Amino acid sequence: MTPGVGPLGATPGADHSTDPYLPAHGNGGYRVLHYDLDLDYRVTTNRLAGKAVVTARAVQSLSRFSLDLGTFRVQGVRVDGRSAKFTHRAGKLRIKPERPVAYGTTFTIDVRYAGTPVPVSGRWGDIGWDELTDGALVASQPNGAPSWFPCDDRPGAKATFLVTLTAPAPYTVVVTGDLVAQRRGSGTRTWVYERNEPTAPYLMSVQIGRYDLVDLGANQRAAVPHRLRAVFAHDFGRQGQMMTVLERLLGPYPFREYVVVVTDDDLDDPIEAQGMAVFGRNHLDGRRTHERLAAHELAHQWFGNSLTVADWRQIWLNEGFATYAEWLWSAESGGPSADVHAARWHAHLATLPRRVVIADPGVDRMFDPTVYKRGALTLHALRTKVGDATFFALLRSWVAEHRHGTVTTDDFREHARRFAPVDGLLTAWLDRPELPALPVFGL
């Protein structure tokens, strides 16, 4: 074997993830700067044809590299305009360019592909591009992005996007990003969306359905089936107030707009995307039963989307913070206070036989409710210890200083210690399986 070259001449590390929880997703050797996706989708046959131009920078010399891509037929690959050899199996598109890519070089990868998009199946069910009764949705957390485009599928691998999608004319297409153009064809409409903020592949989403577009005021809008508009207007009637509250507590909303999509199908859970949240029709009941979920998904725009975890070990930084935002909204909107929520959930967690280290819960427990609730309890314990003025100053500066970046638990520890000596508290709550007692204010 040639020194410094792996099997089949592969560049060492060029097709391996750095995420310990999902080692099959993500790639090494380069950093994606931009995705330009030109897609054509036929609803009745569930067929997607795509051209992806990926602009990347080599962080080592590359004789080969890879992208994550699902079960499509790859029709051709070009690197810097030259045809490249490739293999595609088991979710990896492995590419050998005609000429090696030198360290530090910015290069383009042009991939043409087509087929039936299917979600990625795994321990969390089917993730990614999925058919609706009449349309399609994309919900990619944590590993569904390759179900519709070739990518470096890691949460910390953020890039900008331009997405052009052509679909049958009766359908509305909503993509995470700012709508910059729309044109009509023969029985089709083409929608062009631009996402200029650095975005993780899993946070890119496409929603296709027979939707009415509803203005929610300020920087918010919704895509809702016509028959659900009245019940939506009631259940999301406080959306503007919710945005105002979270901006006051967390800092300015980090994107140009926020889009709520309600599908005409049931969904197990709502899901966030960059500048978007997707709900099922079952989350509307005319009684605002699921309003806490609306607060949770809106909070993810700060925690998870603007501030994105470097890898999936850090998931409490998404889910614990969004859960705590539910409690903050409850208190602000006339419901139980955060103290009441914290006491209730602490009592419940104390009855559970299994414990979890939320700073590193393990892949099997990434989405365990304990991570969500104990993560929120960690923040409440911190707030109780340092007081409201210090806590919310800490939170707002955390959001501002890491805007559109990637974060880790150690980053949060370092940030918190600038405001108060809380290393012991964070160690107890984040690194040890035993459930600590809730602290008393000021002690």
Q: How many CB atoms lie within 10 A of CB 112?
A: 16
Q: Which of 192-201, 367-376, 431-440 has the lowest mean pLDDT?
A: 431-440
Q: Where are the beta strands (DSSP E) in 185-263?
A: 188-199, 206-209, 211-217, 220-225, 258-262
The distance in angstroms from the start CA to the end CA of the chain is 63
Tens of pLDDT along 195-236? 999 999 999 999 999 999 999 988 999 999 999 999 999 999
Q: Do the Cβ atoms of 58 and 184 come closer than 8 Å?
A: no
Instruction: Place 16 in a pLDDT band, splitting at 50, 70 and 90.
Output: low
Q: Is the confidence at residue 13, as pLDDT, over 90? A: no
Strand, helix or coil for residue 417: helix
Q: What is the mean pLDDT of the chain?
A: 94
Phi–psi pair at 238, nearest 5 degrees: -105, 20
| Antiparallel, parallel or unpaired: β 258-262 and 220-225 | parallel
DSSP 45-82: TTEEEEEEEEEEEESS-BS-EEEE--S-EEEEEEETTE
- What local confidence, expressed as pLDDT, does residue 443 receive? 45
267-271: average pLDDT: 95
What are 90-145's pLDDT values in tens digits?
Answer: 999 999 999 999 999 999 999 999 999 999 998 998 999 999 999 999 999 999 99
Q: Which residues lie closer than 8 Å to 388 by C-beta, 6 or more apart?
A: none
Q: Is 74 in a helix, a strand, or coil?
A: strand
Query: Rounded distance, CA 350 to CA 352, Å?
Result: 6
Domain 210-301 = CATH 3.20.20.70: no
- pTM to 2 decimals? 0.95
What CATH number should be reported for the domain whose range is 1-202? Answer: 2.60.40.1730
Q: In the numeric block, which tokens belong to residue 300? A: 């993810």
As a dihedral over the C-alpha atoms of residue 342, residue 345, residue 346, residue 350, rounded to 10 degrees, the angle is: 180
pLDDT at residue 182 greater than cutoff 90: yes
pLDDT in the model for residue 122: 87
pLDDT at 18: 75
Count the neighbouring beta carbons within 10 Å of the beta carbon of residue 7.
6
Q: Is 300 annotated as a binding residue?
A: yes
Report the residue count for the chain. 443
Set 30, 202, 253, 372: catalytic member = 372
Query: What pLDDT band is residue 3 in, cutting at 50, 70 and 90?
Result: very low
319 carries a ligand binding annotation: yes
Print the SS3 string covering 109-155: EEEEEEECCCCEEECCEEEEEEEECCEEEEECCCCCHHHCCCECCCC
User: Quick one: DSSP state of residue 406?
Assistant: E
Q: Please name which of 210, 252, 217, 267 lies closest in space to residue 237, comparing C-alpha atoms.
A: 217
Is residue 385 predicted with pLDDT exceeding 80?
Answer: yes
CB atoms within 10 A of CB 258: 21
Q: How many CB atoms lie within 10 A of CB 79?
A: 24
Q: Is the pLDDT of residue 6 over 80?
A: no
pLDDT for 280 equals 98
User: For the chain, what are the domain ranges?
Assistant: 1-202, 210-301, 308-430
Q: Is 434 a catalytic residue?
A: no
Radius of gyration of the chain measured on its C-alpha atoms: 22
Q: Measure Cα distances from 404 to 145, 174, 267, 309 in Å.
A: 19, 22, 28, 11
Strand order in the sheet with 211-217: 211-217, 220-225, 258-262, 276-279, 271-273
> What burial class does residue 126 get, using C-beta atoms within 10 Å of its C-beta: 0-12 exposed, 13-18 middle, 19+ buried?
middle
* Alpha-carbon span 294 to 279, nearest angstrom: 9
Query: Looking at residues 5-25, what average pLDDT do you find?
Result: 64
Candidates 297, 324, 326, 332; catalytic one: 297
Residue 290 has pLDDT above 60, yes or no: yes
Query: CB neighbours (10 Å) of residue 169?
Result: 12
> Mean pLDDT over residues 419-428, rounded?
97
Distance, in Å, from the CA atom of 29 to the CA atom of 27, rounded to the nearest integer, reads 7
pLDDT exceeds cutoff 90 at 17: no
With a pLDDT cut of 90, the percent of the chain lying above it is: 92
For residue 70, the 8-state DSSP code is -
Q: How confident is the model at residue 8 (pLDDT cuts 50, 70, 90)?
A: very low
Residue 4 banded pLDDT, cuts 50, 70, 90: very low
Is 297 considered catalytic here?
yes
Q: Is 226 annotated as a binding residue?
A: no
Residue 11 has pLDDT above 70, yes or no: no
Q: What percent of the chain has pLDDT over 70?
A: 95
Residues sharing a CB contact under 8 Å with residue 69, sequence separation 6 or more, in sequence order:
88, 91, 92, 93, 111, 113, 146, 149, 150, 151
Helix, strand, coil in percent for the chain, rounding step 5: 30, 35, 40
CATH classification code of 308-430 = 1.10.390.10
